[in-house]
Amino acid sequence: MNRRNFIKQLSATAVVGLTPGTLTSQAFTSNQTNISGKLAEEKIWACLMHLSFNFAGGIKSWGGLRTEFEPDQSVWDNAIKSMANNGINMVVINLDDSVLWRSHPEISLRNSWTPEKLREELGNIRRQGIEPIPMFNFSATHDAWLGKYSRMVSSPQYYEVCKELIVEAIEIFDNPRFIHFGMDEERSDYQSHFDYIVTRQNELWWSDLFFYISEAMKKNVRPWVWSDYVWHNPDMFFKMMPKSVVQSNWYYGQDLDPKQTYVKAYLDLEAEGYDQIPTGSFHAVPGKNFQALNPKNIGNTVEFCSKYISDSRLMGFMQTFWMPTTVRFEPTILEAIDLIGEAKNVFEKK
């Protein structure tokens, strides 16, 4: 089978049942309670934790490609404890190459967590009342963690590797409610400083997204993605994106102006009826001191989205902190967690 026919067949297979008009969030029924046993309607208050940081492997200002497992256990433990103390009920774990995958150990960093170690950590997280969710970032801008397979994007071998990683992660996480596939910033301008540039677009981008989604759906796990594709291609996004896919638009500034493209996306997603988990950040500028710039972002995001998104489609909120899980960045990580905890308290008092 030649490459064009392979892509067409894959796209046709994956898209069955996935178009916005034919599949909704109601398709996911068997695992829709969180770790506390409460109904899924409870608002999600999530933090994104980096087990791997090689989503930024092509970005030299963030240290370039890691070759060895990086997180400090004490920082990881303190962050999870802080989440529990702040009432955070979900942690999205960016796994990528920091697990010694049984299916593909060749992509794993030296000294990666074994599946057994990861399961142990997941048990600890659940005992603290927090729901762990797996994440792989399959954006071609953020897939340096795939090693040699990052240069095989959209090939038969690539699909096989991605499928096996998704299946293994879902198994280790005991069929979680969600799996996050990333898919942000796949444009050449985001890779202009890379030595090797790969971007998918048009039918190929969508067929690959449908492939990841279909692998999650086979296990009754709801897919979740970043929403920034809608900033540049709104017509195509709303034509093609299934309503079953949880949307996390993101904006990291402190002033949310609804006329601004990145902020307006929250309103557009609401108008089209998508379930959302709006995402903020307490981030820093790479450099000697990593000075944090936006302490009011998550609080203002919660206030803005609570006002403009229907409660029935506002699934919750997520806080990000784009820095490795290491001692150097522990103070900023803990402050970021405190900030979403404060935003949660304000939200719940209204």
CA dist., res. 313 & res. 275, Å (int): 5
The answer to whether residue 169 scores a pLDDT higher than 50 is yes
The owner of tokens 């086979």 is: 218
Residue 270 lies in a domain: yes
Taking phi over 0 as left and psi of -120 to 50 as alpha, with beta for the rest, 347 belongs to alpha
Tokens of 81: 């404890």
In a domain, 4, yes or no: no
Nearest to 246 by CA among 219, 217, 218: 217
Output 224 or 3, whichever has higher pLDDT.
Answer: 224
- 17 has pLDDT over 80: no
Question: Each residue of 98-133: b (16+ CB within 10 Å) or e?
Answer: bbbbeebeebbbeebbebeebeebbeebeeeebbbb
- For residues 206 and 240, the answer to whether their CB atoms sit within 8 Å is yes
Q: Write out pLDDT tens, residues 25-42.
A: 445 544 556 665 655 679
Can you give the residue range of the structural domain that contains 120? 43-349
Give 300-336 pLDDT, tens digit per residue. Answer: 999 999 999 999 999 999 999 999 999 999 999 999 9
| Residue ranges in the chain assigned as alpha helix (H) | 3-15, 73-85, 115-127, 156-172, 202-218, 229-232, 234-240, 261-271, 297-308, 330-349
CA 52/CA 178 separation, integer angstroms: 19
Handedness of CA 36, 42, 47, 52 (dihedral sign): positive
The verdict on residue 12 lying in a domain is: no
Question: Is 179 domain-assigned?
Answer: yes
Looking at the predicted structure, is the pLDDT value of residue 11 above 70?
no
Per-residue pLDDT band at 98 (split at 50, 70, 90): very high
Domain assignment of residue 149, yes or no = yes
The answer to whether position 325 is within a domain reads yes
pLDDT given at position 77: 98
Report pLDDT for 295: 93
Task: Enter the pTM of the model.
Answer: 0.92
Q: How many domains does the chain have?
A: 1
Q: In what order do the strands lie in the sheet with 222-226?
A: 246-248, 222-226, 178-180, 131-135, 90-94, 44-50, 316-320, 279-281
Could you tell me which residue, 23 or 123, shows the higher pLDDT?
A: 123
CATH assignment of the domain containing 154: 3.20.20.80
Estimate the share of the chain in helix, then strand, then coil, as percent rounded to the nearest 5: 45, 15, 45
- Within a domain: residue 10? no
